[in-house]
């Protein structure tokens, strides 16, 4: 696998020098200072690319080239926004960047309710608590029609939790859901978010799937002509939140997408952590079903319970059988090498590390993206890959 590291640009507290020392060779990056829907110019792309390359690294993957909400809802100026997207794709290809990760999650990007769950060893992990999400939906956001999405028991539990929550807990939950975690495309106030929810009235799963396919029908021919590999990230978490549909969560979702838009440039960011949250997802089966179009790997593990909660586990623990996943990856890479494919080495990055050691005392970190936890994850994944390669 090509070992990469997500870097958030010049303001990231983890420097490019740190990343080189961690052992990664490539960077996963986006131009976060450019507003959603605006064109990424060649000037801006080349500026960032030079900054990465002068540090001895390569810009291997864009994560993410964001899809504007008007494209997802196919409203307003969505046609112009799609044209802008195509121009950004062309500019990236002209600058030598050919792998683009994106997602199609409505309004919210990846979602967690707590950023500092204390683990047994004293390190901190990201957590999604389903009860806190319901508390937010019913008693902070007060979403119209929310009660019909929950059982009487779930509503009662959320009410009790809300009444016993401190103002700090209420603020924490709201901020973590609305303000956007690292890499999220937008942050919202409560009022702004309520207004955004209204733009999805009448858009259920079937409509959102159709909108995704129509978007891909527009951009994948461009990707094919440019040699770009588009790779959609699964929903995180992989189920509906706050009444919003999510349509990239399981094998059947991928099958729908690829049946309707078949070219191999229409591919997957295979995120073991996101997909692993669903107990009905067979991760090796999903990988093997679409192995030839896995263009990017997010390797992490989550630990779930029976109440819909999960937290970020160590990379080789939790509910993901990382040994089996990397075995599948190695077999696919060998198959591609035998076919002389130029993408035989799939870029991977260690996703979401624990905050630990010295990073516990730093004033500024990106939750899930501190240095030492990801360094540990990268080392573990590299060792696992090395061992499997020696055995098969």
Which residues are designated catalytic?
Answer: 233, 271, 298, 351-352, 369
C-beta neighbour count of 20 within 10 angstroms: 14
d(CA 367, CA 181) in angstroms, rounded, equals 7
Beta bridge partner(s), residue 296? 269
Residue 203 backbone phi and psi in degrees, to 5: -105, 100
The token pair that represents 23 in the structure block: 């052992």
Beta bridge partner(s), residue 62? 29, 100
Task: Cite the beta strand spans of 49-187 per DSSP E.
Answer: 58-63, 99-102, 114-118, 124-128
Angle, vertex CA 223, rays to CA 222 and CA 226, nearest 5: 85
d(CA 104, CA 249) in angstroms, rounded, equals 11
d(CA 190, CA 145) in angstroms, rounded, equals 17
Those residues whose C-beta lies under 8 Å from the C-beta of residue 152, and which sit 6 or more positions away, are none
Among residues 231, 209, 210, 211, which one has the least CA distance to residue 220? Answer: 231
C-beta neighbour count of 224 within 10 angstroms: 15
């Amino acid at each position: 696998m090509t070992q990469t590291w997500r870097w958030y640009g010049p303001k990231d507290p983890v420097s490019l020098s740190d990343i080189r020392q961690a052992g990664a060779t490539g960077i996963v990056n986006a131009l976060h200072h450019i507003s959603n829907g605006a064109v990424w110019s060649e000037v801006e792309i080349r500026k960032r690319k030079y900054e990465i390359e002068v540090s001895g690294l390569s810009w291997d993957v864009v994560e993410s080239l964001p899809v504007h909400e008007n494209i997802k809802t196919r409203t307003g100026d969505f046609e112009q926004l799609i044209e802008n997207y195509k121009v950004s794709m062309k500019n990236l290809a002209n600058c030598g960047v050919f792998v683009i990760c994106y997602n199609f999650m409505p309004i919210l990007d990846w979602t967690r309710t707590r950023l500092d769950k204390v683990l047994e060893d004293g390190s901190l992990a990201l957590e999604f608590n389903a009860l806190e999400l319901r508390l937010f939906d019913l008693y902070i956001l007060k979403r119209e029609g929310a009660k019909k999405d929950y059982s009487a028991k779930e509503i009662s539990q959320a009410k009790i939790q809300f009444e016993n929550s401190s103002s700090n807990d209420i603020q924490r939950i709201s901020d973590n859901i609305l303000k956007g975690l690292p890499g999220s495309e937008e942050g919202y106030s409560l009022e702004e978010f309520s207004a955004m929810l209204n733009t999805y009235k009448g858009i259920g799963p079937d409509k959102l799937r159709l909108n995704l396919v129509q978007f891909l029908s527009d951009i994948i021919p461009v990707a094919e002509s440019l040699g770009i590999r588009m790779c959609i990230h699964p929903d995180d978490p992989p189920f509906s939140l706050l009444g919003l549909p999510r349509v990239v969560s399981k094998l059947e979702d991928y099958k729908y997408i690829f049946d309707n838009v078949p070219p191999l440039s229409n591919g997957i960011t295979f995120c073991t952590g996101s997909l692993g949250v669903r107990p009905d997802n067979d991760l090796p089966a999903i990988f093997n079903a679409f192995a030839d179009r896995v263009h990017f790997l997010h390797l992490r593990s989550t630990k779930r319970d029976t109440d819909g909660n999960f937290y970020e586990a160590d990379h080789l623990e939790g509910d993901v059988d990382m040994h089996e996943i990397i075995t599948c990856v190695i077999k696919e890479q060998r198959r591609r090498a035998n076919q002389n494919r130029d993408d035989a080495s799939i870029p991977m990055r260690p996703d979401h590390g624990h905050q630990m050691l010295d990073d516990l005392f730093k004033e500024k970190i990106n939750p899930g993206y501190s240095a030492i936890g990801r360094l540990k994850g990268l080392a573990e994944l590299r060792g696992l890959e090395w061992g499997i390669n020696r055995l098969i």
